[in-house]
Amino acid sequence: MKQKLFFAALFGATALPSISYAEDSLSDEIVITASRLPQSLNQTIADTTVLTEQDIRNSGAADVPTLLRMMPGVEVVQTGGLGAQASVFMRGTNSNQVLVLLDGVRVNSATLGTTGIEHLMLDDIERIEVVRGNVSSLYGSEAIGGVIQIFTKHGSGKPTFTASTGIGNLGTRHLDAGFSGAVDDNSFSVNAGHVESSNVSAMNPQLIPGVNPNNNGYANDTFNANIRHEFNADHALSASVFSTRGNISYDNPFNAAVTDVNNVVENIDKYSLASEDRLNDTWNSKIMLAEGVDDSHDYLNGQPQSRYQTKNDQLSWQNNFAIAKGQQISLSAEHLRQGVNSTVLFTQTSRTVNSLLGGYVGSYGAQEVQLNLRQDRYSDFGTANTGLLGYGIGFATHWRATASISNAFKAPTFDDMYWPLAFGYQGNPNLQPERSVNREAGLHYDAGNQHVDAIYFDNRIGNLILLNAAYTTVVNISKAQIKGQELSYSGDFGGSHLKADLTFQNPINSITGQVLPRRAKEFSSFSASRDFNSLNLGAELRYSGSRPDINPVTYAPVTLSSYSLLNLISHYTVNKHFNIEARIDNLFDRDYSEAYGFNTLGRVIFVGLNYTQ
């Protein structure tokens, strides 16, 4: 409790005195993920954070996990260096209870239920919107903890060529090039990049004996392209392709020999075709046909071992209606087919989901209302109904209070339901979805360049899918309750920029009373930067409290120690075409652990050169 009070006091000392300097108007940043309707960020009821293209560029980060680590309510656990498997715990929920969308398309593995965000490099990304809290009523399964929507780069303005290159320690190399813009009624963007690093050994042989002590390197190739044609002001057709291929070496403590070499090659692909039509003054329609693919190949000493390819084939039709000033309705229908192609002979390899959903957002002076209802009909286990009711009210000057209640679900994966009998274990086709109810309340201050958010949340999750006592199958036996508070602040003072966030949470198994693994009860981040004409200098400080975990070989319980890390960032603008960036992660070379037995990177230095035509 003393530590909690200390961090809250530190946050208050950083943020609250700054409010007296605020004079600008409210933010008008437009977001869509919080309600699936265009809204000003200061009118959203769901707790939402936006990372713009400028934010991404200023971070100097290479990949999505690095960015997410600096967000309130988000913990990222990685089993090694760049490209190693990354798990996202949002507000204490499991990593398979967070939905990741790529331009609105599901690209998650239907066997694991998670998305390989470790292979998503930032050169191809224009914007990220993160919504914390239950939003299954908007997006369906997996959204118990929230939604991370990643928007790839799109073209606009004069056609422009960009390129970047960089090097760092640990054998890190980076190269990227792109061309984007608009000509007449056509806009386009094409981008390709390559990243590689020798990393470090993924596992620590002193903690996990018998693993190969060699460095576990990583290589990534990414391609992104899209084109959009506007027939007139009311009708447009667009197509996009995204493909990233990551090749990561990893350690396996169960190999026959310490010299054995394991690696996984994983492709994440997204294809989409969309028609956007303004049918009259009040009716906007969008039809999208898309496919998201996760294709993973495992190798031992260069020889193929297993393959898991899953596809999410999606057809959606969304209709937005402006029914009155400040009031919008959305009505949508979606069809999803999930399929598995694997060397493992699953007892069932496909299923379909048909969904109907409706939403309403309305502004009544100082008040906002949001209502969402959704029904998902699965071909294998039946129906899931979800809803959200939210309310916000402005008071005093620049202050706003929000409250919401919502429920969500996570469908069982193909691994959960259809894994064949092997090694004494088999999937359970009678599983039901995990379900949750979330209540939250928030207090917000927004005055142009000064923002403060304080959120309280209480998420209760039932029907959790876990191994039975005999370790022969999985059943719906567990429950969890996650209560917590998030405090966040951002402010600009001329050429100075500050951000801070604190998260206090108590993610427990309701049956055993134990804290959920790899989740801290408190974690925080702080960043500050300063502009000096053509030079910008910045620093990031990140802290995580202690976390429970298990030994991956013996399954004995262990405790991971708390840690704090300091990163430095700098940008120098040479001229209108060239700029230089440098980033140092873990400046003091701290030895810390995100997952027991797995190494993390020590001090990492990277220097890059960027060119814009």
Distance from C-alpha of 367 to C-alpha of 461, rounded to nearest angstrom: 30
Q: 27 falls in which pLDDT band (50, 70, 90)?
A: low
For residue 191, pLDDT over 80 is answered with yes
Distance from C-alpha of 226 to C-alpha of 235, rounded to nearest angstrom: 17
Q: 2 falls in which pLDDT band (50, 70, 90)?
A: very low
CA distances from 441 to 46, 63, 453, 455 (A): 10, 32, 11, 6
Both structure tokens of 99: 């939905």
Tens of pLDDT along 163-180?
A: 999 999 999 999 999 999
- Is residue 131 a contact partner of residue 456, using CB atoms and an 8 Å limit? no
Distance from C-alpha of 419 to C-alpha of 429, rounded to nearest angstrom: 9
Tokens 């939250």, residue? 440
- Residues found in the chain: 613
Helix (H, G, I), strand (E, B) or coil at 424: coil
Task: Provide the H-helix boundaries in 140-233.
Answer: none
Both structure tokens of 176: 């990227």
- Is residue 592 a contact partner of residue 565, using CB atoms and an 8 Å limit? yes
Tens of pLDDT along 310-330?
A: 999 999 999 999 999 999 999
Distance from C-alpha of 247 to C-alpha of 268, rounded to nearest angstrom: 12
- Is residue 410 a contact partner of residue 139, using CB atoms and an 8 Å limit? no
* pTM beyond cutoff 0.75: yes
Tens of pLDDT along 364-375?
A: 999 999 999 999
CATH 2.40.170.20 corresponds to the domain 2-612: yes
**pLDDT value at residue 7:** 47
Phi, psi of 155 (to 5 degrees): -90, 150
Rg (CA), the chain: 24
**pLDDT value at residue 448:** 79
| Average pLDDT over the chain, rounded to an integer | 94
The residues near 544 (Cβ < 8 Å, ≥ 6 apart) are 75, 520, 523, 562, 563, 564
Query: How many CA atoms lie within 13 Å of 22's alpha carbon, on the beta-carbon side?
Result: 22
Distance from C-alpha of 273 to C-alpha of 287, rounded to nearest angstrom: 8
- Helix, strand, coil fractions of the chain, as percent rounded to 5: 10, 60, 30
Q: What is the domain partition of the chain in residue ranges? A: 2-612
